[in-house]
Amino acid sequence: MTEPKHRLLRALLRLPVDRTPVWIMRQAGRYLPEYREVRAKAGSFMNLATQPELACEVTLQPLRRFDLDAAILFSDILTIPDAMGMGLYFAEGEGPKFERPVRDVAAIRALPRPDPDDALRYVMDAVRLIRARLADEKPLIGFAGSPWTLATYMVEGGSSRDFARVKALLYEDPDAAHLLLGKLADCVTDYLNAQIEAGAQAVQIFDSWGGALAHDAYREFSLRYMARIVDGLKREHDGQKIPVILFSKGCNTQLEGLADTGADALGVDWTITLAEARHRVGHRVALQGNLDPSVLLASPAAIRAQARATLESYGDGTGHVFNLGHGITPGVPPEHLGALVDAVHEFSPALHAGY
């Protein structure tokens, strides 16, 4: 197995780099006018996400503007439940919804295990197309939602503020909850492995709603299933190691448990310093993050100062991937992201001298 050449992959594997790599969650998105133009031509979000040529185009747009260290596949975390026949649609101003939410054991048992090369072929076609267009200049990150995060949408029928239905299920009928989460863990494993086979060079699991769970419930209903996925993933492909990133928002009390899963890197939100996170996980994993996305609404001077502070919080040496603590927000001026990327390029080389 050969060492990777790409800065991002090296940092995720805690290998020496010349500067801290940077990519941004939701870097292909509504803050870019070119994205909004393609989205308007597509007619709907689902048309955009399910047409490989369009998904490839918006994936590559931010790399044309900014010197980022990776592309991340443009898709949606709810592709798996959609492939299970739940009838995903997007209501204007309300976000994702399902025509047929799962609310009982019978509905959970009836859920199929979709073949990602069949029901989700459009995603794999997009991965292959993006890799071909990147021509190995930058690596491609694939992704999926965590079983718990997918389950919240599937049981609630869409987005939720209090997760009342899904939490009632896990406390009232934990066996049913485990049945659903187990099915989803198998589906996510299949899906990410198919992305790796198609060309993804790293994968991230988004546990967007892990922070909604109480401490012990998190370990039982979220962490347990992410560990199961990590254990089932292809960690090598075409002679290269495939790094795995876990991002569990609002779960800083769980960093040690997340590091124990065997993942290569942990995404960290902005409610903890990188210095503290690094102290707690030691050398077991790389860290990704963790600038507050709202900083990008401030002036370029303020952005530069906060970028420098984030880099200095992590400190010297490898094992840090610069990112936001969550996705970029639609109102950010593109030039502000440019200021952030430039600041990481300017300030980070000094932290890697001698490594």
pLDDT per position as a tens digit, 325-345: 999 999 999 999 999 999 999
> Residue ranges for the binding site?
26-30, 76, 153, 208, 326
Question: Considering 69, 76, 190, 269, which one is annotated as catalytic?
Answer: 76
Kindly give, in sequence order, each residue whose CB lies less than 8 Å from that of residue 212, ignoring residues fewer than 6 positions away.
152, 163, 167, 250
Average pLDDT for 55-83: 97
Number of neighbours of residue 7 by Cβ within 10 angstroms: 21
In 3D space, the residue among 229, 153, 228, 170 whose CA is nearest the CA of residue 195 turns out to be 229
Q: Is the pTM of this model over 0.95?
A: yes
Alpha carbon 292 to its chain centroid, in Å, reads: 16
Kindly give, in sequence order, each residue whose CB lies less than 8 Å from that of residue 82, ignoring residues fewer than 6 positions away.
88
Q: Is 39 tagged catalytic?
A: yes
In 3D space, the residue among 23, 123, 71, 56 whose CA is nearest the CA of residue 323 turns out to be 23
Q: Which CATH architecture has domain 7-352?
A: Alpha-Beta Barrel (3.20)
Please give the pLDDT value at position 1. Answer: 73
> Residue ranges for the binding site for substrate?
26-30, 76, 153, 208, 326
Question: Considering 14, 35, 69, 153, which one is annotated as catalytic?
Answer: 153
In 3D space, the residue among 210, 205, 208, 206 whose CA is nearest the CA of residue 167 turns out to be 210
Please give the pLDDT value at position 95. Answer: 83
Q: Is 26 tagged catalytic?
A: yes
Question: Considering 7, 14, 19, 26, which one is annotated as catalytic?
Answer: 26
Task: Read off the pLDDT of residues 231-273 as tens digits, 9 standing for 90 and up.
Answer: 999 999 999 999 999 999 999 999 999 999 999 999 999 999 9
Q: Is 153 tagged catalytic?
A: yes
